[in-house]
Amino acid sequence: MVKIGVIGSCAVDLVVTSDKRPGAGETVLGESFRTVPGGKGANQAVAAARLGAEVTMIGRVGEDNFGEVILNNFKSNGVSISHVEPVADIESGTAHIVLAEGDNSIVVVKGANDLVTPEYIKQKLNVIQDMDIILIQQEIPEETVVLVSQICAQAGISLLLNPAPAREVDPSVIENAAYLTPNEHEAALLFGGLSPAQALRQYPNKLFITEGAQGVRYYDGRREVLVPAFKVEAVDTTGAGDTFNAAFAVALAEGQPIYESVMFANRAASLSVTKFGAQGGMPTREEVEASLQS
The angle formed by the CA atoms of residues 231, 76 and 1, to the nearest 5 degrees, is 70
Q: Is 160 in the site for ligand RIB (CB under 6 A)?
A: no
Would you call 236 a catalytic residue per the annotation? no
> Smallest distance from the beta carbon of 239 to ligand RIB, in angstroms?
5
If one asks whether residue 235 binds ligand RIB (CB under 6 A), the answer comes out as no
The nearest distance, CB 103 to ligand RIB, in angstroms, is: 12
Are 40 and 90 spatial neighbours (Cβ–Cβ below 8 Å)? no
Q: CA of 5: how far to CAs of 106, 140, 169, in Å?
A: 25, 15, 21
Task: Please report how close the Cβ of residue 162 comes to ligand RIB at its closest, in angstroms.
Answer: 9
Binding of residue 64 to ligand RIB (CB under 6 A): no
Query: Smallest gap, in angstroms, from Cβ of residue 155 to ligand RIB?
Result: 27
Using alpha carbons only, give the angle 225, 230, 236 rounded to the nearest 5 degrees: 125
Q: Does residue 188 interact with ligand RIB by CB under 6 A?
A: no
Residue from 73, 238, 261, 266 that binds ligand RIB (CB under 6 A)?
238
Shortest Cβ contact with ligand RIB: which residue?
38
CB-CB contact of 260 with 8 (8 Å): no
Shortest Cβ 203–ligand RIB spacing (Å): 23
**241 touching ligand RIB, by CB under 6 A:** yes
Residues 6+ apart with CB under 8 A from 281: 235, 236, 239, 271, 272, 273, 274, 275
Report the alpha-carbon distance of residue 167 to residue 217 in Å, rounded.
21
43 makes contact with ligand RIB (CB under 6 A): yes
Q: With binding defined as CB under 6 A, does residue 236 bind ligand RIB? A: no
Considering only residues 20 to 39 of the shown chain, the ones binding ligand RIB according to CB under 6 A are 38-39
CA 65 to chain centre: 23
Binding to ligand RIB, residues 69-88 (CB under 6 A): none
Catalytic residue among 13, 64, 132, 242: 242
Q: Site for ligand RIB (CB under 6 A): how many residues?
A: 15
CA dihedral of 141, 44, 246, 49, whole degrees rounded to 10: 140
Q: Is 281 in the site for ligand RIB (CB under 6 A)?
A: no
189/200 Cα distance (integer angstroms): 14
151 versus 281: smaller Cβ distance to ligand RIB: 281
> What's the CA gap between 199 and 207, in Å, rounded?
8
Among 16, 106, 234, 235, binds ligand RIB (CB under 6 A): 106
With the C-alpha atoms ordered 36, 250, 114, 241, is the resulting torsion angle positive or negative? negative
Alpha-carbon dihedral sign for residues 81, 84, 90, 96: negative
CB of 219 to ligand RIB, least distance (A): 26
CA-based torsion, 188, 193, 197, 201: positive or negative: negative
Of the candidate spans 53-61, 115-123, 188-196, 233-241, the one that interacts with ligand RIB by CB under 6 A turns out to be 233-241
Q: Does 6 bind ligand RIB (CB under 6 A)?
A: no
Q: Taking Cα atoms as reference points, which of 77, 70, 85 lies closest to residue 55?
A: 77
Contact footprint for ligand RIB (CB under 6 A): 11, 13, 38-40, 43, 95, 106, 108, 139, 238-239, 241-242, 278
Catalytic residue positions? Answer: 242
